[in-house]
Amino acid sequence: LPDGSEILEFPITTTTLFGRRLAYCGGGYLRLFPTNWVARRIAVANRAGQPVIVYIHPRDIDPDQPRMSMSATRRFKSYVGLSTCISKLDTLLRRFPFGTLAEALAELEHSELPIYRLVRAADKWRLCRRDP
């Protein structure tokens, strides 16, 4: 991107659990948490008029992927819930209306989303949040 270009951010959907912000709708988070727990969080966000970003990586829906040698913690993070992710997505897609980011952007005011400007300083690129 050229210097001065801007990037519009769709923030990851979070909830508060035990006083801490926690992502729950994508990647390993979606694989880890029970479907009904995720669905309740989506329903709360929908009632509040907040868009919910659900994302996956191709590996999140491939229970037959090769298992690699790694620490127990990393193994848990990498492989938990692989066998149930497709059924979770299917349930959520049946239960809630979904659309594309382009459709969400058309419904939102640009001022509701953070915008970052790309600037070059001392031979490094940095993203600086632009004030609305």
* β-bridge partners, 88: none
**Both structure tokens of 33:** 């948490």
Q: Report whether pLDDT(1) > 60.
A: no
Mean pLDDT of 87-114: 85
Q: What is the pTM of this model?
A: 0.78
Q: Model confidence at 3, in pLDDT bands (50, 70, 90)?
A: low
Pick the closest to residue 31 from 78, 70, 66, 69 (CA basis): 78
Q: Report whether pLDDT(105) > 70.
A: yes
Q: Model confidence at 20, in pLDDT bands (50, 70, 90)?
A: very high
